[in-house]
Chain A
Amino acid sequence: MFRLGIDLGSSYTKGVLVDENNRIVETHCVKSGYNFNNAATKIINHFTGKYEIEYPIFTCGYGREQIQVPFVSNSELIAVSRAVFEVYHCACSIIDIGGQDTKFIKVNALGQVEKFKMNRKCAAGTGSFLEEIAFRLDVTPAEFTEFAQEATQEVKINSFCTVFAISEIIGMIKNGATLPNIILGIYNSIILRSFELSQVENLLVVTGGLPAMHPTIVTLFKKTYPNSDTPEHSQFLAAWGCVLLNFEKKPFYPIPPDPLPQKGKGE
């Protein structure tokens, strides 16, 4: 029997299949679209053919309760912290950049969340910010990250707003700025924006879909804050953390307080 963690995010739904020792066996990712249950079903079906899945499954993210199989939901911030602690076993800061949220989490030496902060009601600095700009510039994420490596000089992007950032970029192109230099500026604006959330201390672990799709940004994070790292499966950490949270000898975060499974429409 295998355990399944699903992170139903605003842009992508990420599934992680975990064995009885809580090791990641396989990952799978689909677009969330408008129906979280459909997205989760695609993930479940992907694994069902090959593996026998144990229920309930473990969920987090915006669509964490929008599925029709037995589930236990968790906070994605606690889940990602749990997974990061599983990898590094030390006090650290986490910057998680997802589709519409950028999160800062401070984890102490016991693996507990000491504080966290999320971005304001604004997409600038999140994955959607980059997706929108890439769409408008007609550049794929792979090209985006390659272009940034060709940059010779950073162009500063000042705008706080996705829409106005695009007008700003169009103005720069008109004035002769090169695409690689602009893209480097875009990446750096995201990094600066994420460092605004709180004071980074100890090891910085950069997680989420953005570093997975834009590996250049990981290098840039390292330039800004040398003691930083991005683990393997960075996009799937929250999904994995959901499983880890629920298979401790003692529940890591015992909320809600009743024995598992606590809720789920299939019960």
Chain B
Amino acid sequence: MNEKALQDKNELVKLQSVNDLRRTMDGYFARLKEASETHNRKIAWCTSVGPAELLYSMGFEVYFPENHGAMLGAGKNADKYIPTAVAHGYSPDICSYLTSDIGAFLQNETPLQKSGFASVPKPDILVYNTNQCREVEDWFSFYARHFSVPIVGIHTPLCITDLSPEIITGVADQYHRIIPELEKVAGVKFDMDRFRETTGLSHDGCVLWKQVLQKAKHLPSPINFFDSAIHMGPIVVMRGTPYANEYYKILLAEMEDRIKNNISAVPEERFRIYWEGMPLWYRLSSMARMFAKLNTCIVASTYCNSWVFDDLDAANPFESSALAYCKLFIVRSDTVKEQVLAKLMEEFSVNGIIYHESKTCARNSNNRFGLQNRLYDRTGIPFLEINGDLNDPRCYSEEQSIIAIETFVEQLAGRG
């Protein structure tokens, strides 16, 4: 078979929902832009696994710098901005979302300018949760100092094994404690019914997103990690609004339709792999093509599964928010992480697991404390470790990684 025929046979089939995704994300940015220009609503900046439901319940438009960081990475521009942040005293070894985002800000550039924004929307308040990492506090503090606006945060215990009542109550209390500052900035009183409503919407959206991801259990899978990493946009930035839920109903229907019509994400799916760690945003599409060429589908990932907050409960929004955001994979101990990974790997019938050790994201690199070996001893499922970074392409050796990935797939084939 010649190269062309091989390529056609392995060409990825685009999800039709992508147009609805674009419309949904355009709507989100349009609302932000309007708030930014007319000041008709206050703008809160929030970490990606921060208290979005609470902020939406108080009428804020919510902007997520991590989403912006991913846009810089996917646009292959991060390495243009990181040196600027480094020159301002931020180490190249810390989060490259942070360094690329701050670097872009210092250069007064943003991909949002293509959508008519003059710059990133100015915050009225910054709200973080350290459940994912401590860097977010430093990151947001830069902007709090720059804009002279308040910053509030929730400090979550790290490496949680048991979700004890003390931990949940402690985090729920912190939700209560940030409300007065939010009320002051929003100019409205906290409304429990509104919080119940956004918590319920977020729960339903997360369940829909989970259902989408779980369709990848089907053999062959109708969706791969590279699709999910793009289509997760609404659950990250519109969690707690009806917009995300509307979109995931469309995407879920397409998944069901694909299964019915035997349309798979990777045309000739032969191997199924779990992806542990961050995406390499600057290589998303080339990696998608490479895996398709290798007849390999990345069917599940820690990253995309992290936005499944199905413990949220409208009847009990404070405690359930605390539970959901402490149950998050990234904030758990290796003991729990090992159990979660083993379960997901079994559920999604994977042949192998790839660990992406991200140079600037220690918290999302779970092969640093021997977990990969323990999980291999427990499951017998082969693993591959690749070195790279979420946003900084300078940390990634592409040729070497391609050889490693191709070899890994051959290794899986050799197992029969």
Contacts and interface: CB of A to CB of B under 8 A. Distances in A.
Contacts of A100: 400
Interface in B42-85: none
A255 B410 contact: yes
A117 B385 contact: yes
Nearest to B389: A121
B87 interface: no
B6 A252 contact: no
A93 to B, nearest CB: 15
Interface string B242-271: 000000000000000000000000000010
Contacts of A267: 2
Contact of A263 (B6, B385, B404): B6
B2 A253 contact: no
A107 to B, nearest CB: 10
Chain A, interface residues (CB within 8 Å), range: 20 to 34
Contact of A262 (B6, B383, B385, B404): B6
Interface string A84-124: 00000000000000001100000000001111111011000
Contact of A116 (B6, B397, B411): B411
A76 B406 CA distance: 10
Given A254-B413, A256-B6, A258-B1, A116 B399 contact: no
A157 B132 CA distance: 38
A116 B407 CA distance: 9
B413 A255 contact: yes
A115 B396 CA distance: 21
Nearest to B411: A113
A113 B1 contact: no
A17 interface: no
Given A253-B414, A258-B1, A267-B2, A75 B387 contact: no
A121 B395 contact: yes
B404 A253 contact: no
Contacts of B408: 116
Interface string B381-412: 01111010000000111011001101111110
B294 interface: yes
A253 B413 contact: yes
Contacts of B306: none
B176 interface: no
Contacts of B395: 121
Contact of B382 (A77, A114, A265): A114
Nearest to B382: A115
Contacts of A262: 1, 6
B409 to A, nearest CB: 6
Given A253-B413, A257-B295, A258-B1, A113 B407 contact: yes
A78 B385 contact: no
A75 B407 contact: yes
A120 B3 CA distance: 31
B146 interface: no
Contacts of A257: 270, 295
Given A78-B407, A117-B385, A257-B295, A252 B270 contact: no
Contacts, number: 70
Interface in B147-192: none
B415 interface: yes
A255 B409 contact: yes
Q: Which of B270, B396, B407 has the most CB of A within 10 A?
A: B407
Interface in A110-152: 112-118, 120-121
Contacts of B294: 255
B383 A115 contact: yes
A118 B387 CA distance: 10
Contacts of A116: 384, 404, 407-408, 411
Given A255-B294, A255-B410, A101 B400 contact: yes
Contacts of A253: 410-411, 413-414
Contacts of B397: 121
A195 interface: no
Contacts of B396: 121
B407 A121 contact: no
A267 to B, nearest CB: 6
A161 to B, nearest CB: 14
A117 B355 CA distance: 12
B403 A263 contact: no
A81 to B, nearest CB: 9
Given A117-B385, A118-B400, A263-B1, A78 B6 contact: no
B387 to A, nearest CB: 5
Contact of A78 (B295, B382, B410): B410
A55 interface: no
Interface string B116-157: 000000000000000000000000000000000000000000
Interface in B1-26: 1-3, 6
B410 A76 contact: no
Contact of A121 (B385, B400, B403): B400
Contact of B2 (A114, A252, A263): A263
Contact of A77 (B383, B403, B413): B403
B398 to A, nearest CB: 10
A115 B414 CA distance: 12
A2 interface: no
A263 B3 contact: yes
A62 B399 CA distance: 7
A263 B9 CA distance: 14
A78 B414 CA distance: 10
19 contacts: A62-B399, A75-B410, A78-B411, A112-B414, A114-B411, A115-B376, A115-B382, A115-B383, A115-B411, A116-B407, A118-B404, A252-B414, A255-B294, A256-B6, A258-B1, A262-B1, A263-B1, A263-B2, A265-B3
Given A116-B384, A258-B1, 8 more contacts: A76-B403, A77-B404, A113-B410, A115-B411, A255-B413, A257-B295, A263-B3, A265-B3
Which 6 A-B pairs give the minimum distances between C-beta atoms? A75-B407, A121-B397, A77-B407, A253-B410, A113-B411, A112-B414
Interface of A: 62, 74-78, 100-101, 112-118, 120-121, 252-258, 262-263, 265, 267
